[in-house]
Amino acid sequence: MLKKVLAVFCVCAALYGVFPYCFSPEKTPEEQGGTDSPGSLSELKNEAALNLALKSISLSQGEGGAELWRLKAEWAGLQKSEDLLVVEKPRLTYFMKEDGKVMHVSSANGNIEQKSRIIRFIDNVHITQDDKSFDGELLVYNGTQKSMNFPGGGTFNGNGLSGRAETITWFLDSRQVTAEGGVSVYFE
């Protein structure tokens, strides 16, 4: 229990800039041909932009006295310059308020922008809830709008139908799913 509390404290301290420890490799990301877009943790493990690395983290957010979601990942690295937490193998459990159902989200990589309340799931994204599933390469969870968006397209399956679209958005509070561009739906 003490180890978990200490790990959560370190993550919180790092996210708010209190933990000034930093790894110092020989070259900066710019010298290594880095990009402006957030990368995977494996790309960041040896970069100067990585301020903190943790093995096995767990984050959660509550709303109205109840847990809204819980995220676990095998590795996490903090890029303080971009206020970005980069994670490997994130697993999100999202608790639906109205009916008490649970949604599970997983991917190979991801990143979290704490201030803007954005979580990105990158590579082999898979969502399941009851008999429904969504799959794609990029999922963006917006904590302010409480929406999940596949901006690069994806596929969906559930209760006698399947399909695909260039953009899929799931508005979690209203339980509405919208699909745009090249929409194909197949009924079984």
- pLDDT, one tens digit per residue, over 107-120 is 999 999 988 999 99
Give residue 3's pLDDT band: very low, low, confident or very high (50, 70, 90).
very low
Give the count of domains, the chain: 1
Tokens, residue 151: 């901006």
Alpha-helical (H) ranges within 16-169 are 41-44
**Residue 173, pLDDT score:** 86
CA angle 121, 91, 184 (to 5 degrees): 50
- 75-87 burial, b at 16+ Cβ within 10 Å, e below that, comes to bbbbbbeeebbbb
Give the Cα separation of 34 and 81 in Å (integer): 14
Q: How confident is the model at residue 165 (pLDDT cuts 50, 70, 90)?
A: very high
**pTM (two decimals):** 0.72
Q: 33 lies in which domain range?
A: 2-187
* For residue 17, pLDDT beyond 50: no
- Is 71 in contact with 92 (CB distance < 8 Å)? yes
User: What does the pLDDT look like over 130-157, one tens digit per residue?
Assistant: 888 999 999 999 999 999 999 999 999 9
CATH of residue 179 = 2.60.450.10
Q: What is the torsional sign of CA 162, 165, 169, 175?
A: negative
Looking at residue 43, its pLDDT comes to 52
pLDDT digits 0-9 by tens, 50-108: 566 778 889 898 888 889 999 999 988 887 766 788 999 999 999 987 777 899 999 99
Q: What is the pLDDT of residue 83?
A: 78
Predicted pLDDT of residue 185:
92
| CA-based R_g, the chain, Å | 18
Relative to beta strand 154-158, strand 147-150 is unpaired
Helix, strand, or coil here: 23? coil
